Amino acid sequence: MRLARTITFWTLAVALLVCHLIVIQHSLTARFWEDEAFNLTVPLNLLDGLGYSSDGALSGSVITPFDTRISTGPTVLLPVAGMLLFGGDPVISARLVPVAFWGLLIAGLAVLGGRLAGRWTALVGAAVPLAFNGMGSYSPIQGPADLLGEIPAAALLVWALVALRRRPWLSGLLVGLAVQAKLIAFLALPAFAVAIWARSPGRGWARIGQTFKRGWLPLILAGVPTLLFELWALVSLGAPGFIDHLRALKAFLLGGGQHVAPTTVSQKLATLSEAWFVPAWASWITSIAVVALIVGGIVEVRRRGRLKRQAFMLATAAGVGALAFVGWWSTASHTPLWVRHPAPGVLSFFPVLVIVACWGARELASARILRGEQATAIDGQATVAEEPVNLRRIAGGVLAAALAASLAWSVAGHAQQTTLPRNETLATQRADVAVIADWVERTDTEWLAAQPWGAAVAPIVMSGAHVGLFDAPAMRDVPRLTGMPCDTETLVEASRYRVCAPPSR
């Protein structure tokens, strides 16, 4: 039986690795879309000697230092700039950085699962991110290679949990780096405060005192990456420019940068329940099973008087973290129905909850109860007989089976999704862009205006020109790239896109 279990485990581990590789390859060759392209302008401008600046397509279409509309931060974009130094295709080079963070995310979850409940739980932890489907909105996460900050932030948050047990200072620093990967990651701070409290000894006020004693250094270090970045901005922009930068940052954080019809809590929760590779009803059942297994496991071990501190810490931290992200997003009526917003918390804390649920299932499976006061004598020594708690074990087994089925269904669904035909890929974009890039180089065109914001943005960045937005005053005399027929003279045409002369010509 031990050999059979080992063979089964490694067979599933290899199958899971193959699934991850298929998903990564599919993501690397997916369409390079506008948010990725806009993020890429920062490392491109940095290497061109323009500083940490975007093309400012959403900020007046002028080179914009420390653009607050770029919420993906230097934790991601500075390594991208380093990758671009090696040459090669800029898109693939840039996308390899998020892929590396995806690998860190999977490895971190496997470490947490293995520490808590053994190798099978490590396998489950490494599989859970594949269950998430970020494609279902206008602003998607196409896959692990997208040049976005959500997956890197999630990976850093998971490794902050890994480091918390022995190196709280490193945990705080990793949280700070997560914030500078994606600003919304600052919502994870309450989760790590609770995690430090859960690992602190004592009770009552003594425990609170120990929490402050253990937490002050991680808290300071969590702010160091942001402090360094803002000092960089202050030195680069000067005092007046820095004040304007802070005002723009405040407006972006409070307003979300989007102007949409107000959304409701029920709409947000429905959207989140559909963001998985299983039907919405299955995601709700899985959520109930996860919560029930966590609660059942904690109750069972407390009944035995030996609650494992690591399990309690992960359960409370992940619970608070998940509630912080989902709670904020669901009640923020000014934000659209995009699962990208809570994605750092979903991709980090939801898998940890599943890991704790697996631990709970294992504890329920081993449940025993004393058979009253009955005792028997064996070899002259008194012993107390035990019998299985059938109800607990059956309930735990059913819930664990439901969780395993949902996870297997999700992973299979994600792998199957990679076989579907795609309207546009990175290869088809390159074919179109080659014609436009040749024209940009021959005419020494510095700027192109996207008309409108959307699919036209990425071809401009890939062509080597700076990207602006067609209705910005600075773009009045700039040629426009569009997927629609030109109202003015067509300057160059590819199969999907064309460059039109500016209206003023």
Q: Is the pLDDT of residue 242 over 90?
A: yes
* Domain annotation covers residue 149: yes
Claim to verify: residue 494 and residue 409 sit in the same structural domain: no
Q: What is the pLDDT of residue 375?
A: 43
When pLDDT is cut at 50, 70 and 90, the band that residue 389 belongs to is low
CA Rg value for the chain? 26
* Domain annotation covers residue 10: no
Mean pLDDT of 215-231: 95
| Residue range 60-89, pLDDT digits in tens | 999 999 999 999 999 999 999 999 999 889
The whole-chain average pLDDT of the chain stands at 90
Residue whose C-alpha is closest to residue 101's, from 181, 12, 196, 197: 181
Mean pLDDT of 379-391: 51
* Domain annotation covers residue 61: no
Mean pLDDT of 32-40: 96
Calpha distance 422→426 (Å, rounded): 10
Angle between helices 119-127 and 343-365 (to 10 degrees): 150
> For residue 335, what is the DSSP state?
S
Distance, C-alpha 93 to centroid of its chain: 20
Neighbouring C-beta atoms of residue 365, cutoff 10 Å: 16
Claim to verify: residue 437 and residue 290 sit in the same structural domain: no
Domain with 480, as residue range(s), is 426-500
Maximum distance among all Cα pairs of the chain, rounded to whole angstroms: 106
Q: Is the pLDDT of residue 305 over 80?
A: no
Q: What is the pLDDT of residue 437?
A: 95
Q: Is the pLDDT of residue 138 over 90?
A: no
* Domain annotation covers residue 5: no
* Domain annotation covers residue 106: yes
Mean pLDDT of 140-158: 96
Mean pLDDT of 361-373: 67
Angle between helices 280-304 and 390-417 (to 10 degrees): 140
Q: Which residue has the tokens 């940052």?
A: 249
* Domain annotation covers residue 191: yes
Q: Is the pLDDT of residue 258 over 50?
A: yes
Mean pLDDT of 445-469: 94
Q: What is the pLDDT of residue 301?
A: 86
* Domain annotation covers residue 380: no
Claim to verify: residue 139 and residue 281 sit in the same structural domain: yes
DSSP 447-462: EEEESSSSTTHHHHHH
Q: What is the pLDDT of residue 390?
A: 63
**Structural domains of the chain, count:** 2
* Phi, psi torsion values for 366, nearest 5 degrees: -100, 15
Claim to verify: residue 405 and residue 455 sit in the same structural domain: no
Q: Is the pLDDT of residue 371 over 60?
A: no
Q: Is the pLDDT of residue 104 over 60?
A: yes
Mean pLDDT of 92-117: 97
Mean pLDDT of 120-136: 94
For the purposes of burial, counting CB atoms within 10 Å of the CB of 5, is it exposed (0-12), middle (13-18) or buried (19 or more)? Answer: exposed
When pLDDT is cut at 50, 70 and 90, the band that residue 505 belongs to is low
Locate 460 and state its tokens. 């401009």
**Most confident of the ranges 111-115, 134-138, 418-422, 491-495:** 111-115
Claim to verify: residue 150 and residue 114 sit in the same structural domain: yes
| Residue range 310-348, pLDDT digits in tens | 899 999 999 999 999 999 999 988 889 999 999 999 999
Claim to verify: residue 403 and residue 469 sit in the same structural domain: no
* Domain annotation covers residue 233: yes
Q: Is the pLDDT of residue 226 over 90?
A: yes
Calpha distance 317→353 (Å, rounded): 9
Claim to verify: residue 174 and residue 320 sit in the same structural domain: yes
Q: Is the pLDDT of residue 142 over 70?
A: yes
Q: Is the pLDDT of residue 238 over 70?
A: yes
Give the range among 208-222, 227-241, 364-378, 459-473 with minimum mean pLDDT.
Answer: 364-378
Claim to verify: residue 400 and residue 342 sit in the same structural domain: yes
Claim to verify: residue 330 and residue 350 sit in the same structural domain: yes
Claim to verify: residue 410 and residue 264 sit in the same structural domain: yes
Calpha distance 481→398 (Å, rounded): 56
Claim to verify: residue 433 and residue 302 sit in the same structural domain: no
Q: What is the pLDDT of residue 230?
A: 96
When pLDDT is cut at 50, 70 and 90, the band that residue 272 belongs to is very high
Claim to verify: residue 348 and residue 430 sit in the same structural domain: no
More confident: 399 or 25? 25
More confident: 399 or 45? 45
The alpha-helical segments, DSSP class H, found in 199-279 are: 204-255, 265-273
Q: Is the pLDDT of residue 221 over 70?
A: yes
Cα distances from 44 to residues 47, 235, 426, in angstroms, run 5, 21, 19
Q: Is the pLDDT of residue 380 over 80?
A: no
Neighbouring C-beta atoms of residue 86, cutoff 10 Å: 8
